[in-house]
Amino acid sequence: MSLIVSFCSLVVAAIAAKIAVSSMKKVHSSYDETRTVLKQLEAKELELQSLAIQIEQLSERLVSLESTKTPVVEFYDELKTQQNLKIFNLYGFITLVGQGCIEFASDDIKDKFNSLVNCHHRNFWASDKSISPLGRSHFYIMIYYHSDKVAGYQMFFTSPDKTCTLFEVYVAESLRNLAIASSLIESTIGFSDTQLKIREFDTHLLKQENGQRSLLVNVFEQMKKLHPKANFKVTVEEPDI
């Protein structure tokens, strides 16, 4: 009888031990699963931290771009790539020049550009620097490149009354020809018309040194035909002596 009791006790003990081992395995398995979940959560947290850093860096880049107002309207630039033309917000372009990112094809165009910028600062900067480009007058510059260097430009600005005023177009003396100047004017008017929906254009041209009217008058006459819905006011002035 005692042997039977002892045997039963051993069986019960064995079953209890097996249950205990099984429970321990389940606990261990649950612990492993918990560790796996925690590791996954940690990995997700790291991913979110990395994403947050990327978003912050992107925000800083966007703020930087907005503060300098660097190149605009890329989809229009693509249309003009074959003509070696590109359009910039004027302030962004001035910033790039100051940072040494822009090369000029010759000293004469560099000096001319610096003179133009000084004139702009004296006459427009004080009243324009605090104006939103989405609101009132905003200045642009259309650039002609030759061998990746600035060889010509057309500066212009748009006003609240939807008028585009073109400043004197300039092409480096070593490359000077009417075709380049015409391309700059045409692209400026085309950009203002198609992208900014401007219909009023105003420009002042200088007579030639021999007293003949500016050759660019013919360019604007051609623009009138290409943009029949637009109005052009062309004033020809005497050159400074």
Provide the 10 A C-beta neighbour count for residue 232.
Answer: 16
Q: Going by C-beta distance under 8 Å and a sequence separation of 6 or more, which residues neighbour residue 191?
A: 73, 76, 87, 140, 142
Q: In which element (H, E) is residue 110 found?
A: helix 107-120
Q: Residue 185 pairs with which residues in a beta bridge? A: none
Q: Is the pLDDT of residue 69 over 50?
A: no
- Which DSSP symbol is given to 83? G
Task: Please state which of the four CATH numbers 3.40.1130, 3.40.630, 1.10.3470, 1.10.1660 is assigned to the domain occupying 70-237.
Answer: 3.40.630
Q: Map residue 223 onto helix, strand or coil.
A: helix
For residue 107, what are the CA distances in angstroms to 42, 71, 159, 179, 231? 59, 24, 32, 21, 36
Mean pLDDT of the chain: 72
85 φ, ψ (degrees, to nearest 5): -115, 150
Question: Following CA atoms 83, 89, 95, 96 in sequence, which dihedral angle do they give, to the nearest 10 degrees?
Answer: -20
Provide the 10 A C-beta neighbour count for residue 137.
Answer: 16
* Residue pLDDT, tens place only, 8-30: 554 455 555 555 546 555 555 56
Q: Which of these ranges, 63-67, 87-91, 156-160, 190-194, has the smallest mean pLDDT? A: 63-67
pLDDT of residue 25: 57
Mean pLDDT of all residues in 203-222: 75
Question: In the chain, what are the domain boundaries?
Answer: 1-68, 70-237
Mean pLDDT of all residues in 83-102: 85
Contact 199, 229 (CB under 8 A): yes
Contact 125, 131 (CB under 8 A): no
